[in-house]
Every structure is written in structure tokens, then in C-alpha cells.
Amino acid sequence: MSVTREKVLAALEGVYLPEGGPSLVRSGRLSDIVIADGKVTFSIAITPKEVMTLEVTRAAAEKAVEALRGVEQAVVMLTAERSTSPTPQRAKLSTRPTSIPDVRHIIAVASGKGGVGKSTTAANLAVALSSLGLKVGVLDADIYGPSMPRIFGITGKPRLLTGRILEPMEAFGLKVMSIGFLVDPEAAMIWRGPMVISAITQMLREVAWGELDILVVDMPPGTGDAQLTLAQQTPLSGAVIVSTPQDLALIDARRGVAMFRKVEVPILGVLENMSTFVCPSCGHRSDIFGHGGARDEAEKLEVPFLGEIPLSMPIRETSDSGKPIAAMEPDGTLAQAYRLAAQSVWGQLESTTQRPAPRIILE
């Protein structure tokens, strides 16, 4: 039997706000209800002070909806509008999110804007990290345009293990989770910032990643509020910024660097994608989008430069057909370029970890 909005609202009739408050349905605090594949998602608007008191209502709402026939999972979030005062925001910046058990490092692959090849780079970088002998996971957090199912050629849905925990999908020896496996992309398109954050947090924390050396997070493109919150709420060890060489893209890349610096996430480096084009028939080199811009920018920003990935037909063809080039031609020059970037990233992560960590020693 299919779940409808009316049935969800009827199930919520018996859920009340605390201390003699109105029913949740009548309170005017409910967001749109998104129903997709047996999963029901909505949020309850609160003021920041109500987080503790309304947790009971949130949990009761989840339980009531999960009791409906046809509902596999209900995800109810408390969402508070952002405060306009800068003080709480700054206070929040200094608190570090809790880490994920058994996951040694989480890194973000980000870009100031869409279309620069961020997802392709994230996927190939993950394959390259795995070729170094590391256990690698990929979390596709590009919620409005999830591309990991396509890049890795994964179809089907993740299995629900105990409770709310999902089993990640696997491809090329990597564990992969993407919102693309879970909801219709059109459902995710209408999600507002808090729902996006909550969905990503769930994919991060309610997936049986197992033991991983590194989890690569393909971030949503851009440097808006959602990206900033995500950068802040994910226990990141560092971030890689992908940029094409044009000036315009580099301005966005600079914004990306600034965003991670704001939340004190180390920049592991800038990687230039769609760099020089080498003609496959005559070998002539053309710098279609310019060349070297990202290297200069990295120098200016005093962050490492992770290398240049050429604009190449095989990259486009393989990433659009579910066979990332770094896995298909592991001895080729392209795989090697990704491997160099991977080595630099891993080297930086490990050298930071090996520095004395007072927090750990004190504990």
C-alpha cells in the first residue's frame, strides 16, 4: 500500500508539542513532507533554544510515521533558522564534530562552482588512494547532482542492516554511498539547506563504513551556507580544491579555500583539472582553458599544488560510463597523475596525525 501525505499527517495527529502545546500538525511548524521509496522525510521548525525540549516530539513523530504500513524509514529533523547575530555562529565554529568510529581520515573534495570535474576527480582520487593499499570509501554529498552511481557504474539500492544502518555499495574495491541510491533526484532538488545537511550527516553516520583509512566526500559545488555548514559539521581532516585553470574558476577556488579556512579545515591542496589538451591524433598540446593558473593560485594562497589533470577524452568517456580511468588503466599517465595527488594527500594527512596530539594524550 502506498504512503501518502494525508496518511502521514493522520499519523501525526496524535503527536503533540510538549507542555500542553498544540498538535504538531496544527502547530504550523511542519515542513513539506517528502515521500520516496518507503522513506518519509520532513522537518519541524524550532528556535535554537527548543532543541532539547522538542527532541521528544521529533522522536515521537518519527515513531508514529514509522508505524505506518509501507514506511521503511522516517527521518524527522529539527531545523532552526540561522541566527542573524554573528556571535553564536563564531562560537559554533570552534567546536569540532565527533569523528566516525574506525574511519581514520575524512577529506572533502570541493570546488567553488559546478562543472569543473570535481566528482570525476574525487572518484579517481579515491581509486588512486586505494591503489596505494588504503581502505577507501566515497561519500557522494553532491546532493543536487549525485554522480557517483554513474561514475562507478553502480545500480540498485543499499541494503538496510540493523535499525537505520545502511550497508554501503561497493565498486572497484571502494565502499560507496550516494544520495542517488536512496531518493529520487527530483525529491532532493526541493530540499532546503537543513534537510540537505541532515541527509548528508545521515549518510556519514548511519552507514556501516567499517574500517577505512580514508573517506572521500564529494561535496556539493559552491561555497554557500549549506557547504559551509557541511564543512563545519563533518569531522574533516582536510580538503582538496578542484579548479579549472581559467581566472573565473580560480576566483571560485579562492572562495573554496577561504570557506575551509573559516572552519579551520586544513587545505590539502589545489588540483588543476581540464588542464592542457593533448590531441589524441597529432599529439599537439592546446591550453584550451589556459594553463598553470591553479599552480600560481596555490602558490599565492600558500597551499600545496596537487598537479594537473589534462582535458582528456578517455577521462570523459570512462567517467561517464562507470569505469573510472584510474581503475581501468592503472599504469597509464592519467592514473599516475591521480596517484601523485593521492600520495601528496595521504602524506600530508599522516604527517599531521603523527604530530603529537595533546588532545589524545590528555584523554
Binding residues (CB under 6 A) for ligand ADP: these are 111, 114-120, 147, 221, 273-274, 309, 311-312, 315-316, 319-320
Q: In this complex, which beta carbon is closest to ligand ADP, that of residue 212 or of residue 311?
A: 311
Q: In this complex, which beta carbon is closest to ligand ADP, that of residue 222 or of residue 304?
A: 222
Q: Is 227 left (phi over 0), alpha (psi -120 to 50) or beta?
A: alpha
Least Å distance between CB 95 and ligand ADP? 30
Least Å distance between CB 159 and ligand ADP? 27
Three-class DSSP category at 217: strand
Least Å distance between CB 98 and ligand ADP? 28
Q: In this complex, which beta carbon is closest to ligand ADP, that of residue 131 or of residue 275?
A: 275
Among 180, 181, 222, 231, residue whose Cα is nearest residue 201? 231
For residue 257, the one-letter residue type is V
Q: In this complex, which beta carbon is closest to ligand ADP, that of residue 25 or of residue 311?
A: 311
Least Å distance between CB 115 and ligand ADP? 5
Q: In this complex, which beta carbon is closest to ligand ADP, that of residue 184 or of residue 320?
A: 320
Which three cell numbers mark 166?
Answer: 545502511
What per-residue string of b and e applies to 41-76 under the rule 16 or more CB within 10 Å gives b?
bbbbbbeeebeeebeebbebbbebbbebeebebbbb
Tell me how far CA of residue 212 lies from CA of 106, 137, 180, 200, 216, in angstroms.
Answer: 9, 7, 22, 18, 10
Q: How many Å apart are CA 64 and CA 68, to the nearest integer?
A: 7
Q: How many Å apart are CA 216 and CA 107, to the nearest integer?
A: 5
Three-class DSSP category at 291: coil
Least Å distance between CB 326 and ligand ADP? 12
Q: In this complex, which beta carbon is closest to ligand ADP, that of residue 35 or of residue 271?
A: 271
Three-class DSSP category at 327: helix
Least Å distance between CB 315 and ligand ADP? 4
With CB atoms as reference, the residue minimizing the distance to ligand ADP is 117
Least Å distance between CB 302 and ligand ADP? 24
Sign of CA dihedral 306, 262, 100, 202: negative
Q: In this complex, which beta carbon is closest to ligand ADP, that of residue 43 or of residue 319?
A: 319
Least Å distance between CB 11 and ligand ADP? 38
Q: In this complex, which beta carbon is closest to ligand ADP, that of residue 238 or of residue 324?
A: 324
* 265 CB-contact burial (10 Å; exposed 0-12 / middle 13-18 / buried 19+): buried
Among 329, 78, 328, 111, residue whose Cα is nearest residue 217? 111
